[in-house]
Amino acid sequence: MTGRPRVVLASRNAHKISEMARILDQAGLHVDVVGIEEFDDMPEVAETEPTFEGNALLKARAVCVATGVPAVSDDSGLCVDALNGMPGVLSARWSGGKGDIANLELVLAQLGDTPDDRLAAHFTCAVALVLPDGREAVVHGEMHGHLMRTPRGTHGFGYDPIFVPDGERRTSAELTDVEKDAISHRGHALRALVPVLRDLLPEQ
């Protein structure tokens, strides 16, 4: 035990857990971030809400009740202009649960007839914080850019290999962790969460 406040991230995704811990630490907020695998008998929470904010709150509330620990949850996704904002909240399940590569390939297939100059897209993220005493907060972040048709890069996950952020020639999957943290949708949202955590968590 470190004596620092503990926050549980409603995820088993090691990338997200380390990302949150890294960003909060860089912002000077020293908390212990753990994933739900640290707890037994965790409920599986279906993402049934139509919005990123709704899904983030749904998961954070369930995990906070199950653990008795302040819970943070994010819901994020890729919104493609030419697909009317889809896959959006369905990003992680776009191919019917077949995984990241299948999701990415399906998006590219659906954009097959779309001109290259109409491949604008953005990532959006909602991060919810729920405390055992019932207090809640939600923050948001976005990262704008465009898609490319050939995946590049081995960092990151999800749609990162085909997403080029504004001002970059590299995909998100070609950026270092530090570079991506500085501009990513989740990075923006987690930095927006820092002052909220300072106000709501026990003394740092």
Three-state SS sequence of 7-26: EEECCCCHHHHHHHHHHHHH
pLDDT tens track for 49-62: 999 999 999 999 99
Q: Looking at domain 6-200, which CATH architecture does it have?
A: Alpha-Beta Complex (3.90)
Which listed residue (25, 40, 41, 75) is catalytic?
75
Residue with more model confidence, 70 or 29: 70
Residue 36 pLDDT: 92
Percent of the chain at pLDDT exceeding 70: 97
CA–CA separation, 59 and 56 (whole Å): 5
Tell me whether residue 75 is one of the annotated catalytic residues: yes
CB 7 within 8 A of CB 32: yes
- Answer whether the bond into residue 195 is a cis peptide, omega within 30°: no
Confidence of residue 142 (pLDDT cuts 50, 70, 90): very high
How far from each other are the two terminal CA atoms of the chain, in whole angstroms?
15
CA–CA gap between residue 122 and residue 144 (Å, rounded): 4
88-131 pLDDT tens trace: 999 999 999 899 999 999 999 999 999 999 999 999 999 999 99
pLDDT band (50, 70, 90) for residue 13: confident
59 sits in which H/E element: helix 52-67
pLDDT of residue 23: 85
